[in-house]
Structure 1
Amino acid sequence: MRVGFDAKRIFHNITGLGNYSRDTVRIMSSYFSKNSYFLYNPKPGKIDRLKIADNLKVCFPKSKVWQKLNSLWRQKAIVKDLVSDKIEIYHGLTNELPVGIETTNIKTVVTIHDLIFVRYPELYSYIDGKIHYKKFKRAAQVADKVIAISEQTKRDIVEFLQVSPTKIEVVYQGCHSAFQKDYTSKEKEQVAKKYDLPNKYLLNVGTIQERKNLLTIVKAIKNTNHYLVVVGKETNYADKVKAYIKENNMQNRVCFLKGVSMEELAIIYQKTSIFIYPSIFEGFGIPIVEALYSKTPVISSVGSCFSEAGGPDSIYIEPHDDLALLKEINRIENDTLLQDKMKEQGWNYAQQFNDTVIANAIMDLYKGL
């Protein structure tokens, strides 16, 4: 089988969409190694987080014209290259499909991650919201199959994009293999020393933006001795959070880490006492799965997809209720039996997101086409 992937974010994105794209390609090329996989990349990238196996081929625009107009190539002109390369299935990994591919014999799959721009339009500019909606809806309607990364996302696709539920398959995201490894005491000590981590701390991971709701965690621990470690790309919202931290003299109890490698992040997860993810809405919530694999207790939000990711033994609160959050933090930290249960049952629940399950689900979908 000759499978093509939209590989832009594999080589140009270090956050959620990039991680999903890299993990999907890594899993498929490993578990079904006899296939040929073509990674269509509009231009050389600076991100080198995917090992290029023998069955992977990175493809750039073939003509000099489209090498210069690479964004347009990805949107439409790429179709000619796909036909030339005899691609049998093309998988748009991040919500999009090129215009015109529906006129070829190539079977198509698109992964839709979330429709947050529809549910919370105030978080996006008017123009961005309109562009996203047009691209997502067209891709979902012309694709032969749609992958939703959660049941929540599937419901949103049906409701907002008017796509038949029979066309949509839910295939959960996994997480990077780094989070599924055990690390030595020496490795953990090295990371703790490098980032000056205390023996006990709370953890939040994710882009620091309003929807992720970091400020609620900071408010919850304001009058306590809890220490918070934050790992994530900063946006303007981070300034708001840091201003609150400064106003309340919390600078010595909240630290923001940058330049953390995937292996270092996995160790940071494994050393934390509680992972806290009070996001307002997500398509799935992969940091929750990373925490479960790390055998770390999780506190997240009620609603959205969070219980799908966290399972029945994580704890869920109203996202803006800082008093409820503090209560649950203290309850977990003061109850070793509860900690042990959350760690073990959480890890067991996370096994449905392992590489084998995901690989087989995607390949079954490909074969069905």
Structure 2
Amino acid sequence: MNIGFDAKRAYHNNTGLGVFSRVLINLLAEHFPQNNYYLFNPKPGKSFHPVQKNMHEVLPTASLHKLLRSFWRSRWITKDLVKYKLDLYHGLSHEIPVGIAKTGIPSIVTIHDLFPELYPHQYKPIDTKIYRAKSRYACTHATRIMAISEETKSHIIRIYGIPAEKISVIYQSCPPAFGVLETEERKAAVRQQYNLPAQFFLHVGTIIERKNLLNICKALQLIRSEIPVPLIVVGNDGGFKEKVKAYLKEADLEDRVIFLSEQLALAGKKPFIAAEDLPALYQSATAMIYPSYFEGFGIPIVEAMSGGVPVITSNTSCLPEIAGNAGWLVNPDAPEEMAAGFRKIYTDTAFAEGMRQKGFENAKRFLPEVFVNDVMDLYLSVL
């Protein structure tokens, strides 16, 4: 079978959508090596380096296509899909090429969320307009829709009027390395490499308003005299960092929150943590806190639980769906509930161990082999 992918984010995105794309493509190539996987990429990128022989990068070749790469990706690519005799095309993030139905090639589109539809005030008007046009077209014209949570499926049905039977919910997975338990020596080495304390709470995510770092800091203020454990923040500034830092200065909490990328830059190092070190970083944490206001999935929850890390997360959006019965669920507007979670996990070792074991069990729902087999079953259903 010849399977094509919109691989733009696999090659060019280092955050959630890029990770999702790379994990899926790698798992398919590994678990179903009999197929050929064509990765349609508008321009050369550095975030993805396919090594399997059954992966084939496809770049635009015509001069006009190189000049207008976005048009090649969104429209003109259909001729290449036919050229490579695709049996199936998968748009990995909210869009498929215009006119793909005319080629006779079945298509799948993955919808991660409909946030620009739900919260347009948090996006630039032009971005919202483009997103709406692409997502609505994809949901209407794709053969099947892959939603990454029941929450997202409900939004697709309500906002776009898509029949429920056209939508399959398939939970994503994280890189398999997160499920490998690191040795104490390895964790100690990673802490030393990044100049981290022996104990810390962890927050992973871009520093934007909906990720709710400000209220996490307010929770730290509530326990500052009880629990001498800092917060490590892993994530790039999305425009909200200065507001958080202003609060930290006002509350005299600057020494209790460590922005890892900032700390690395000040030390003259690359301002990001290497991917191979992330599992040990997670597993060194006393707890991972992820109290977002809304998410399409919340992959840090799975990354943490796969390695046995207790998780504090929100009782809103899809987050209870992903955390199951293994997380400490909080109102994202209630720092006191986050503080209670920190306090319970830090002081009650038996409770924390129970959370670890529940987390391991919950993470089985998102195992790589479950994810990749569910996706292949979806592919076969449209052929």
Which TM bucket (shorter chain)? over 0.9
Give the CA deviation at 1:72: 1.0
- Using the alignment, how far apart are the partners of 1:183 and 1:283 within structure 2? 29
Give 1:99-138 correspondences, 5 Å limit. Answer: 99-138=98-137
| Range moving further from structure 2, 250-259 or 272-281 | 250-259
**Unmatched runs of 5 consecutive residues or more in structure 1:** none
Q: Is the 8 A contact 1:179 1:263 kept in 2?
A: no
SS in 2 for 1:172: coil
Report what 1:227 is aligned to. Answer: 230
Report what 1:290 is aligned to. Answer: 303
Report what 2:264 is aligned to. Answer: none
Fraction of identical pairs, as percent: 42
Report what 1:39 is aligned to. Answer: 39
Report what 2:200 is aligned to. Answer: 201
Runs of 4+ in structure 1 deviating by more than 4 angstroms, as ranges, are none
Count of aligned pairs between the two proteins = 368
Give the CA deviation at 1:250: 1.6
- Using the alignment, how far apart are the partners of 1:76 and 1:325 within structure 2? 47
**Unmatched runs of 5 consecutive residues or more in structure 2:** 262-271
Give the CA deviation at 1:354: 0.7
User: Of residues 265, 278, 282 in structure 1, which corresponds to 2:278?
Assistant: 265
Report what 1:254 is aligned to. Answer: 257
- Using the alignment, how far apart are the partners of 1:250 and 1:51 within structure 2? 44
Report what 1:139 is aligned to. Answer: 138
Report what 2:152 is aligned to. Answer: 153
Q: Is the 8 A contact 2:175 2:368 kept in 1?
A: no
Report what 1:86 is aligned to. Answer: 85
Q: Is the 8 A contact 1:211 1:281 kept in 2?
A: yes
- Using the alignment, how far apart are the partners of 1:183 and 1:332 within structure 2? 21
SS in 1 for 2:255: coil
CA deviation vs aligned residue, 1:165-220 (integer Å, no higher than 9, x gap) = 10000000100122122223332222111221111111000111001001011011
Q: Is the 8 A contact 1:178 1:262 kept in 2?
A: no
Give the CA deviation at 1:10: 0.6
Report what 1:210 is aligned to. Answer: 209
SS in 2 for 1:357: helix
Q: Is the 8 A contact 1:62 1:81 kept in 2?
A: no
What is the TM-score of this pair, normalised by structure 1? Answer: 0.98
Give 1:314-329 correspondences, 5 Å limit. Answer: 314-329=327-342
Q: Which amino acid aligns with 1:27?
A: L
Give the CA deviation at 1:131: 1.2
SS in 1 for 2:240: helix
CA deviation vs aligned residue, 1:223-254 (integer Å, no higher than 9, x gap) = 50331000011121011111111222222111
CA deviation vs aligned residue, 1:75-118 (integer Å, no higher than 9, x gap) = 10111111111011000001110111011110000000001112
Q: Which amino acid aligns with 2:253?
A: M
Report what 2:178 is aligned to. Answer: 179
Q: Is the 8 A contact 2:120 2:128 kept in 1?
A: yes
Give the CA deviation at 1:71: 1.1
Report what 2:241 is aligned to. Answer: 238
- Using the alignment, how far apart are the partners of 1:168 and 1:8 within structure 2? 23
- Using the alignment, how far apart are the partners of 1:182 and 1:340 within structure 2? 15
Give the CA deviation at 1:352: 1.2
Q: Which amino acid aligns with 2:380?
A: K
What is the TM-score of this pair, normalised by structure 2? Answer: 0.94
Is 2:312 aligned against 1:312? no
- Using the alignment, how far apart are the partners of 1:149 and 1:108 within structure 2? 17
Give the CA deviation at 1:276: 0.4
Give the CA deviation at 1:64: 2.1
Q: Is the 8 A contact 2:304 2:310 kept in 1?
A: yes
Give the CA deviation at 1:313: 2.1
Give 1:7-46 correspondences, 5 Å limit. Answer: 7-46=7-46
Give the CA deviation at 1:11: 0.7
Give the CA deviation at 1:135: 0.6
Q: Is the 8 A contact 2:88 2:105 kept in 1?
A: yes
SS in 2 for 1:153: helix
Give the CA deviation at 1:61: 0.8
Q: Is the 8 A contact 2:29 2:52 kept in 1?
A: yes
| Range moving further from structure 2, 244-253 or 305-314 | 244-253
User: Of residues 355, 364, 368 in structure 1, which corresponds to 2:377?
Assistant: 364
- Using the alignment, how far apart are the partners of 2:143 and 2:103 within structure 1? 12
| Range moving further from structure 2, 322-331 or 137-146 | 322-331
Change (3 A) 1:337 1:185: closer
